[in-house]
Amino acid sequence: MSAFLRQQMPLVLSSSAAAARGALLRTPAAAPVPPRLLLRSLLRLAGGGGRSSRHLCFAQHPAGGKRKRSTMEQQQTLEHRMGDWYSVPDLGLRDHWFTVPLDYGFPGGAKISVFAREVVLGAVSAWMILGSHIILFSVAGKEAQQLPYLLYLQGGPGFESPRPTEASGWLKKACDEFRVILLDQASFVWQRGTGLSTPLTISSLMQITSAEKLADFLKHFRADNIVNDAEFIRVHLVPDAEPWTVLGQSYGGFCAVTYLSFAPKGLKCVLLTGGLPPIRKDCSADDVYRACFDQVVHQNEKYYKRFPQDVLLINEIVVYLSEAGGVPLPSGGLLTPRGLQCLGLVALGSSAGFERLHYMIERAWDPILVEGAPRHLSYYFLKAFESWMAFDTNPLYALLHESIYCQGAASKWSAHKIRGGLESAFDPVKAAREGRPVFFTGEMVFPWMFDEIHTLKHLKEAACLLSEKEDWPPLYDVTALNNNKVPVAAAVYYEDMYVNFKLSMETASQVAGIRLWITNEFMHSGLRDGGSLVIDHLLGMLRGGKPLF
């Protein structure tokens, strides 16, 4: 057994363990090793350590310690610098910073920083008992291995890339064969201006005091420039500037289709999850929101069918807010009936969202402890409302959301305009007083948010200027997509509230060679909720292991 195991993985005893061999690694000869303990040790070893390995004695592995730095690591420049490898359970990570032009049309002008995190499977350590000895094993991580690169583009816009805490889900599956690059970014996956990339936060944006200058600055943070950043990073990071695989979730998928349109030579293959954007030039933001509102109505109907008791509870909250003229929020903003409807942005379109909303509504009111005391909405409920919105930490989402649909035309607060024609369904006060279900809204940004959400107030003028901007450059090249040669596989979620199914299918018909997986097994958050299943299915489709339908 021990000879076989030594052939499968290098045996490395830590110096401290070797020095204490007699005292620490030897068990009393008279003490038999319990079979259950031996079996557990073997399972740990066969399973690669897993979460339990974090509690074991970790031996030094070849990729760690004072190894010789690679040529790439020595070639740090003003345009690219990197940190040292570090680890979380079962993953090795390294940070990269790239200095890129704010405007690629003027490369000698202003610069910004874009942050990327490199992720590989890390060292695995385990132990087993053979006879009277405890033997430590360590399998080197993949830090020094030659692996193909996969760029992950996050959803958004305006949300940073995932912060790995362990090897799990889609990331673990991807790291089995790829060197994964997570860019900060947006939940538009990675977007410049989020996370550790020159961060556009509520406080940092206050440095630009002119609304005109702020609007002009923000126009450089759409998908076209994200693709420019990706190409800059690929050339500086990937050996020989080889093409890489791109995984685009939600808005990250929009960015990946822009990538296919304008820089396909940088792509080996593309995986899309809930991220096929509307690409026709004549498909305006109005068309998008009109289609999205139809799905939002459907999701509301499903919610109240699941929780019919919430009709009365939510009606009571809406009437209370209406009669009070709004209720102050902990951060200084104001909760109004139309603000309450925005809970649908998170609740109606993601896994477990219905349940989370229901349990939040359950705790809306403070208990009456003294007879005759007035009724109040609870601090718990008001704080939970603000935590769901996240506009205070990710303002780019509010500022740029409608612009992601704009090509040569202004949005002119499109969602607000379309909602205005649906007041019979979306007037919260009228619905509450008539005893009808109050419908929540979806992934929409409205101009009044910049009055009611305290942290957005100083950005209102810039947001209005962006909504009137007409000269947005094209984001897609339909001709190039018609002639696409890059392998593409896409998961299309039938009941996706954020990316309309019909518009996605229209786009798919224009991308040559695309392979579709159409499913209602997952909602928009399928990549996160499905573990390795979604990415495994898409890779299987491209490699012939899954049906192509």
| Residues labelled as active-site residues | 250, 471, 524
Torsion angle of C-alpha atoms 133, 134, 140, 141, degrees rounded to 10: 170
Sign of the CA dihedral with 501 first, then 505, 507, and 508 last: positive
State how beta strands 334-335 and 327-328 pair: antiparallel
Block residue for tokens 């809970």: 343
Give the burial class of 168: count Cβ atoms within 10 A of its Cβ; 0-12 exposed, 13-18 middle, 19 or more buried.
Answer: middle
Block residue for tokens 């996160």: 528
Block residue for tokens 């362990």: 166
Sign of the CA dihedral with 151 first, then 154, 157, and 158 last: negative
| CA–centroid distance for 522 within its chain | 16
The type of residue at 520 is N
Helices 353-362 and 379-389: angle between axes, nearest 10 degrees? 150
Helix (H, G, I), strand (E, B), or coil: what is residue 153? strand
Question: Hey, what are 302's tokens?
Answer: 């499903």
Q: Residue 215: what are its φ and ψ, rounded to 5°? A: -60, -40
CB 388 within 8 A of CB 148: no
Q: Residue 358: what are its φ and ψ, rounded to 5°? A: -60, -45
Q: What is the C-alpha to C-alpha distance for residues 24 and 17, in angstroms, rounded to an integer?
A: 7
Q: Residue 261: what are its φ and ψ, rounded to 5°? A: -75, -40
